[in-house]
Amino acid sequence: MNERTLVLVKPDGVGKGLVGEVISRIEKKGLSLAALELRSVSRSVAEEHYAEHQGKPFYEDLLEFITSGPVVAAIVEGPRAVAAFRQIAGGTDPVDKAAPGTLRGDYGLEVQYNLVHGSDSAESAEREIKLWFPEH
């Protein structure tokens, strides 16, 4: 029943003071936090985290951005947690894809600065949780 997902508040979200807002929406949705930590991101964790995007034109910029400042990493838990957090986050492009009422739709403007990350499947979630929170 319960599923886990990895959530990141990316450096732009932390910089804009949106950590509380992200956590608040997670909690109001009924999901729960199993781990929560402010982190700086090493190049090697960034590369592993975004391995699926290696070779894409935006890959280098993505690594540079995600390592540019602190992020908040969380394990979020609940029924259909993966899909539920992606619903809260909104689509990848904050203007073309994310609806108003979502985090990206409400607070994002450019695709490369879209505030949050959420795992895209239960399998990705387990891989990412192992990477970010090996103790869990």
Dist CA 81 CA 120 (whole Å): 10
Nearest to 121, CA basis, from 94, 87, 90, 81: 81
- Residue 114 interacting entry, from Mg ion, ligand DAT, none, C-beta within 5 to 8 Å by type: ligand DAT
- Residue 21 interacting entry, from Mg ion, ligand DAT, none, C-beta within 5 to 8 Å by type: none
Residue whose CB is less far from Mg ion, 33 or 51: 51
Nearest to 76, CA basis, from 7, 2, 123, 131: 7
Which structure tokens are listed for 24?
Answer: 């608040």
| Segment 97 to 116, residues that bind ligand DAT, using CB under 6 A | 111-112, 114
48 binds ligand DAT (CB under 6 A): no
Decide if 49 is catalytic.
no
Min dist CB 102 to ligand DAT, Å, is 11
Min dist CB 90 to ligand DAT, Å, is 9
Residue whose CB is less far from ligand DAT, 2 or 112: 112
Q: How many other β-carbons are positioned within 10 Å of the β-carbon of residue 20?
A: 9
Candidates 58, 60, 64, 136: give the one binding ligand DAT (CB under 6 A): 58
Helix H, strand E, coil C: the string for 18-29 is CHHHHHHHHHHH
113: DSSP letter: B
